[in-house]
Structure 1
């Protein structure tokens, strides 16, 4: 199979998927448990079937295609990524990895490979966490890390819980545990993904072999004060939630810079209540996202935030609470699989480099317990999570060739 034909098939599938967005002409908005998600799953289902896979949707909304091997009970080789997006995101983040997985299945069949165990392609539901402020819903459910209480706890900005959203989507949240795969049933996990950063594009390198994915902790912090008149309330008599919250927020980025090893911390959302220009705020909500390849760095910043909140809120006279949205530790990826891909890149003359991932992926969740590897393709100018996100289809094609080689070795030994 020539690289041109592979490129054409990847391009055809991704071009078709572009239409499933709630914001036509302004990037991809495909939030979980929406019409756009359902349309994408329906298309992926038909595409998987056309590729010769047996397809079903699980209790978490993951779409799963199986290319059966000789021993269907043996630990499978799984490949996939997510089909959801952020708001006004790009057309390749996540979904390209699902398309690449389907393409690998095609190439395995065309190459006449007789797998000894199943090759499984997955389109995961809600990796981004954009709607409910969480993340890795489908991949977490596959590992048994999501339950009914989880689904009831997390809600979107309209107050709709994951539980209710699932029911409206046609799933039964009471059966979420049915999405769990038995321990030992997944042998290896593979994920192709756009880099979402500028390194490969700037250095004109074709493929990135990911050797580590950073850990992530996410929090929603709520600081409670008291609403008062902005003109008539003296400064020393205020319970100003904004004053207390911003004294903490202003330090967070510097605490990350102190680490000087790629650790990052972000406050991406701030909301004041009641939000009037002439009212002292009675409440401030803000998010914190901390990422590092070293878990001790993440924990240190999280602890500093708590200590600073204790200090500033006590001085102000109010109170605060922290809702933990996500805690996931850094993961080192499989050296054995990295070496197989590196050898194949050399043999085919593809340029490559080993590199970490500063973004979280389904591979981060699954890699906590299962041997995992990732392959990056370049993102033009490093742009992602925005409408101008772009990767050449031929780069995806090269990734599928390398991933097919890896899958073949894993499936036939």
Structure 2
């Protein structure tokens, strides 16, 4: 008979095997073949516990264990099982497997719960599959903020819209049916890996989340003038050099705000993106996060970015 540790290890190793990039991390994109394999495995494990297993109109899996109280709000716990490209084996999966193991133990101990309990397993929480601002699909469906416009607009790396990928997966989304009415969920508990180095640095095994980071995303564009690699240095309008200057100054100013805010230019698109030509265009994607409401109230990040852009534009003679 497998111990709890053995069961958890088996679950994690099994889920990690459902990847489109073997040997290069876990890539289990939403609505993919690997998603289907993971989903089938998790449903099989839930059915062993005689849970009431069902799926909502966006593809979220639930395993319900009734309680002694009638018409009571549900205690919900679980996580997501999709991944980013070349991701780790524990991001999302750790919380998914931990919640599954909790249900196993409750069943083994013949625990009698008062409130109904639901194991929730989500397959589209990462934004990596369809791009920035398209994540937490399952969660947004439950609170009613997911739209059909998004499903018909955003595309994955294969060129499929979210809706097309869903239908190929065998899912015909019904957004209205996913919405949970206010008060129907008593608690939601999710165990998750730490996505920063704080606990590891402090050698602390576990932490409790007090609040989630606020996120600001911005796009900055630099327009220069293309030229051959032989163009004299003093005549160039290099969009990438200007972007580099912006990044350095932006990094300096964000650091100056203190430890409660983070920010970076994490993505660059460059044209013509060749070692033979002076870049005529550069586009950067900025992400800012903060855990303190006071930071947002006292700092106008849009104006901060604009001021740096104005300075760089004047200094490097670009738009």
CA distance in 1, matches of 2:170, 2:40: 13
Question: Given the superposition, is the C-alpha separation of residues 302 and 68 from structure 1 closer, same or farther in structure 2, using an over 3 Å criterion?
Answer: farther
Aligned to 2:206: 207
> Does residue 169 in structure 1 map to residue 162 in structure 2?
no
Higher relative contact order (CA 8 A, sep 6+): 1
Question: Given the superposition, is the C-alpha separation of residues 221 and 148 from structure 1 closer, same or farther in structure 2, using an over 3 Å criterion?
Answer: farther
- Other structure's SS at 2:208 match: strand
Q: Which runs of 5+ in 2 are unaligned?
A: none
Deviation at 1:110, TM superposition (A): 2.7
Of the candidates 99, 102, 105, which is equivalent to residue 104 of structure 1?
Answer: 102
1:121-179 CA-partner distances (Å, limit 9, x unpaired): 11123322112223222212211121111223433345433233223322234x23432
Tell me how large the CA RMSD over aligned residues is. 2.8
- Other structure's SS at 1:99 match: helix
> Does residue 25 in structure 1 map to residue 23 in structure 2?
yes
Aligned to 1:138: 138
Q: TM-score, normalised by structure 2?
A: 0.86
Aligned to 1:50: 48
Deviation at 1:196, TM superposition (A): 3.8
Deviation at 1:311, TM superposition (A): 5.4
Deviation at 1:285, TM superposition (A): 2.6
Of the candidates 81, 104, 117, which is equivalent to residue 83 of structure 1?
Answer: 81
1:320-370 CA-partner distances (Å, limit 9, x unpaired): xxxxxxxxxxxxxxxxxxxxxxxxxxxxxxxxxxxxxxxxxxxxxxxxxxx
CA distance in 2, matches of 1:233, 1:72: 79
Q: Is the 8 Å Cα contact of residues 256 and 301 (structure 1) preserved in structure 2?
A: no
Question: Given the superposition, is the C-alpha separation of residues 73 and 253 from structure 1 closer, same or farther in structure 2, using an over 3 Å criterion?
Answer: farther
Q: TM-score, normalised by structure 1?
A: 0.68
Question: Given the superposition, is the C-alpha separation of residues 201 and 242 from structure 1 closer, same or farther in structure 2, using an over 3 Å criterion?
Answer: closer
Q: Which runs of 5+ in 1 are unaligned?
A: 319-413
Deviation at 1:76, TM superposition (A): 0.8
Question: Given the superposition, is the C-alpha separation of residues 68 and 222 from structure 1 closer, same or farther in structure 2, using an over 3 Å criterion?
Answer: farther
CA distance in 2, matches of 1:312, 1:201: 38
- Other structure's SS at 2:125 match: coil
Where do 1:160-239 residues align within 5 Å? 160-173=160-173, 175-232=174-231, 238=237
Deviation at 1:246, TM superposition (A): 2.7
Aligned to 1:40: 38
Question: Given the superposition, is the C-alpha separation of residues 95 and 186 from structure 1 closer, same or farther in structure 2, using an over 3 Å criterion?
Answer: same
1:366-395 CA-partner distances (Å, limit 9, x unpaired): xxxxxxxxxxxxxxxxxxxxxxxxxxxxxx
Question: Given the superposition, is the C-alpha separation of residues 140 and 303 from structure 1 closer, same or farther in structure 2, using an over 3 Å criterion?
Answer: farther
- Other structure's SS at 1:79 match: strand
Deviation at 1:100, TM superposition (A): 0.9
Question: Given the superposition, is the C-alpha separation of residues 219 and 159 from structure 1 closer, same or farther in structure 2, using an over 3 Å criterion?
Answer: farther
Deviation at 1:94, TM superposition (A): 0.7
CA distance in 1, matches of 2:207, 2:172: 39
CA distance in 2, matches of 1:241, 1:230: 14
Q: After TM superposition, what 4+ stretches of structure 1 lie above 6 angstroms from structure 2?
A: none
Question: Given the superposition, is the C-alpha separation of residues 233 and 18 from structure 1 closer, same or farther in structure 2, using an over 3 Å criterion?
Answer: same
Deviation at 1:116, TM superposition (A): 2.8
Aligned to 2:63: 65
